[in-house]
Structure 1
Amino acid sequence: MTQTQKILVTGATGTVGRQVVTELLARGHEVRALTRDAASADLPAGAEAVQGDLTEPDSLIPALEGVTGLHLITFGGPYFAPLETGPRILELARAAGVRRVTVLHGGGPSLLEDAVRADEGVDWTVLMPVEFMSNALEWAEQIVASDEVREPFVSRLSAMVHEGDIGAVAAVALTEEGHGGQEYVITGPEVLTVTDKVATIAASRGREISLVELTEEQAVARWRAAGHPQEVIGFLLEVYGNTPEVGRTVVDTVEKVTGRPARTFSRWAAEHADAFAAQSPVATSA
């Protein structure tokens, strides 16, 4: 059992940040959860919500007091712009006595991640998860409304990862020795197609779901109608049509770091079955 430590988690209300908070608390550590609006953060019981903004590094000074570990994201502010404040954040962290830093890779080059990698004053770990299982929640509205999923490239492969496992790897790296200078690709335990995912969700909610494969042209038209700019559409076509090997290859990072197997998509789907449940017909009076 590791000694209780106090960790500052930034992006604490996000998909991954919330899981980092949960995992640290479950391991008996103290958590300060940074948010731009502490009053409405709705964090797990036991977390101390603190106000701050990564775009204004000096706002972190009170939150960093007494902290030994720091979890960082690479974007900030109300518009989620890439952070340019990494050097100052790390300067303040070192001054506060922070020994370990994790940074959630944002999918591409990042000034903050570069600053973390270049810092020799802390043990840093870069977390590089592949597709989140929670991305499947994007289908919830159409499944509830029509028992249907409409997607292109339904045979595309993904080693998608449970967001809780990202949080678990981060929690270990922030509180235990041996993870400094590491770049951890984090995946789930299996490779799935869109067909597999839809069938798993259907089984979890106990009701069939039809899968309709869109042509590339239909997918582009839908993305344009949703307001996606051309560069985003091009990115989606590349990722869906030619998924990089790293995104469809299972690695055992979760088990190596945490000591237990990565969680399955079946487990994730069972945990979120209510999000996909069909709506009951509204009763009408005679």
Structure 2
Amino acid sequence: MWLVAQLPIRLQWWLGKMIGLLAWRLAGSRRHITEVNIRLCFPELNAQQQAALVRKSFIANGIGVMELGIAWFRNPAKLTGITEIHGIEHFEKALEAGNGVLLLGGHYSTLDLGGSLVTEYIEADVMQRDHNNPLMNAVMTRARGRRYGTVLGARDLRGLFRSLRKNRAVWYATDQDYGRKDIVFAPFFGIPAGTITATSRIAERSHCKVVPFSHFRRDDKPGYDIYFHPPLDNFPSGDDLEDATRINHIIEQEIRKAPDQYLWMHRRFKTRPDRQDPGFYGRK
């Protein structure tokens, strides 16, 4: 990964495309999960269009593997010339409130590189879910520690509140299936999806501002776009389902900017409202 990260970005994108296409052909179980998710979330597309989006998704995530090398082993500051920031004034205004900012992100294929690029413009901490492989986790944590102020474990709520009390921004994502604990079933692309309620609890206790943001790779030429949106007003509302529905809708809107760049390989609808439901991801 270190060696590949030194290559020109266009060549890295090409290699990423090849990796993505190879995975599309060989990773049958992940392709099946992606096909199910695309079919559920984009019923307006015909079968050919859905299949094309599945293929593009693997390509986008293959390029994302190459971008991990840039984020972990190179200085992302070299990419600021091909990066455009949109709406940073929303973040700056939210920070002026003095109670910290929860950066509401999502699992896009530009996950690590987008996060690294964000830290070229703002100071932020990050919450991460540890990798199962100890070596990968060590490399990932070390790399993120060079970019972010503090790397917090996914369960380190005490550390999270400490950062917010210092009026810092914390990167935070809610868009994966974490099981049945502390969730509500809120619509995501029209499908009831297990969504954690912790976002409301954190905002309620800390009085922080919740600022949605996203980052995408350009299609036409090498480059990146980072979007900050106005902080959520009347949040939390006191209704967990309403809050979760609102958050899922925001993430859905961002995904629709570049549908292929989302992590569709994840079983987002694994936990079903009815425990007797056989689920969506049975063998093909």
TM-score range with shorter-chain normalisation?
under 0.3
User: Based on CA coordinates, which of the two structures has the bigger radius of gyration?
Assistant: 1
Q: As a proportion of its length, which structure holds more helix?
A: 2
TM-score, length basis structure 1: 0.28
Greater RCO between the two (CA within 8 Å, min separation 6)?
2
